[in-house]
Amino acid sequence: MRSRGVIARVPAKVNLQLAVGPLGTDGFHEVTTVFQAISLFDDVTVETAAENNGISIQVTGQTSTGVPSDSSNLAVKAATLMIKNYDLPSDINIKLKKEIPVAGGMAGGSADAAGVIVGLDSLFELGLSRDEMEMVGSKIGTDVPFSICGGVAIGTGRGDQITPALFKGSYNWVLALSGQGLATPSVYAECDRLREGLSISTPVVSEHLMQALRAGDAKALGKSLSNDLQPAACSLRPALRLVLDVGLDYGALGGIVSGSGPTVAFLVKDEEHAMDLTVALSSSGVISSVVRASGAVAGARIIESF
């Protein structure tokens, strides 16, 4: 039997704002976040496979090191749930070509899960709405719905309830990557430790930030970037403070730890500044590599069918 398949392209994200509420009795934090999808992509192939193959996965690409190729991979979890929910054939082959940094606070695993959901919807002509796919995605991980949605969106609840937001213009980013990731749960635990004894209010979206996005004003956006997890990420990885200083000294419009880190995202004025900052960061000796990207880009989408 010849296999049929599709390739979905899925973006990384940066959090322009990440407001973290108090620790709930369920062990989770209520968050309010503003996501932007940026032009760093994983390509996710899903294809039919021979009978009794089950779900198999192969991981390749620049950032494939350390990515599990068993049932703990979020892409496999997404396939398992889609097969169960929609009674799909259970023999599926998944191929991930990774470019998104792993454990970098850029939702790499969530992107792959989103690619599988959108890919299987297309491959088996399920005709699911974006809302339905986001609902499935939210069962896999909090960032999966945004990876499906793309663009710019506000996330509430645990960050998984997505409302697309208006924005103008395009934004240039320089991303300072660390050689070693930070585990999201340990960053939240450190955040709780640092906040012990403080009274924490309910997280709300920044009106300044939304206004900057609506106006397409990169300078104002740079000033409005905020992340409540940044002190915790910097406490666990003090070198991140140095990285932030280097970027701001070299004229970035704003700099922020992306999500739970350790990637640091700098917003810059234009391509030329992006190039200058890339050189400055590369020669600073405080980071392992630098990549450039722009936003906002579309969420998970099919780029090829075969």
- Can you say which residues are annotated as belonging to the binding site for ATP? 101-111
Is residue 43 part of the contact set for ligand ATP (CB under 6 A)? no
Of residues 31, 37, 38, 67, which one binds ligand ATP by CB under 6 A?
A: 67
Closer residue to ligand ATP in complex, CB, 29/273: 29
Each as own residue / partner, the long-range contacts of residues 56-59 (CB below 8 Å, 24 or more positions apart, any chain) are 56/92, 56/93, 56/94, 57/93, 57/94, 57/95, 57/96, 58/93, 58/94, 58/95, 58/96, 59/95, 59/96, 59/98
Active site residue 91: no
- Amino acid identity for residue 159 in this structure: G
Give the shortest CB-137-to-ligand ATP separation in angstroms. Answer: 12
Give the shortest CB-79-to-ligand ATP separation in angstroms. Answer: 11
Active site residue 143: yes
Choices 107-115, 125-133, 243-251, 273-281; region in contact with ligand ATP by CB under 6 A: 107-115
Q: Using alpha carbons, select from 279, 275, 282, 277 the residue that is nearest to residue 266.
A: 277
Residue sitting closest to ligand ATP (CB) = 109
Is residue 112 part of the contact set for ligand ATP (CB under 6 A)? yes
Give the Å distances, CA to CA, from 129 to 88, 132, 136, 301: 17, 5, 11, 13
Q: Which of 42, 91, 121, 143 is catalytic?
A: 143
Q: Could you give the string, one character per residue 121-160, with x where binding to ligand ATP holds by CB under 6 A and - elsewhere?
A: ----------------------x-----------------
Closer residue to ligand ATP in complex, CB, 10/218: 10
Number of neighbours of residue 114 by Cβ within 10 angstroms:
35
Cβ pair 99, 63 in contact under 8 A: yes
- What does the alpha-carbon distance between residue 292 and residue 278 come to, in Å, rounded to a whole number? 8
Q: Which of 13, 77, 95, 98 is catalytic?
A: 13
- What does the alpha-carbon distance between residue 121 and residue 134 come to, in Å, rounded to a whole number? 12
- What does the alpha-carbon distance between residue 297 and residue 9 come to, in Å, rounded to a whole number? 11
Catalytic residues: 13, 143
Residues that bind ligand ATP (CB under 6 A): 66-68, 72-75, 96, 102-110, 112, 143, 181, 184, 259-260
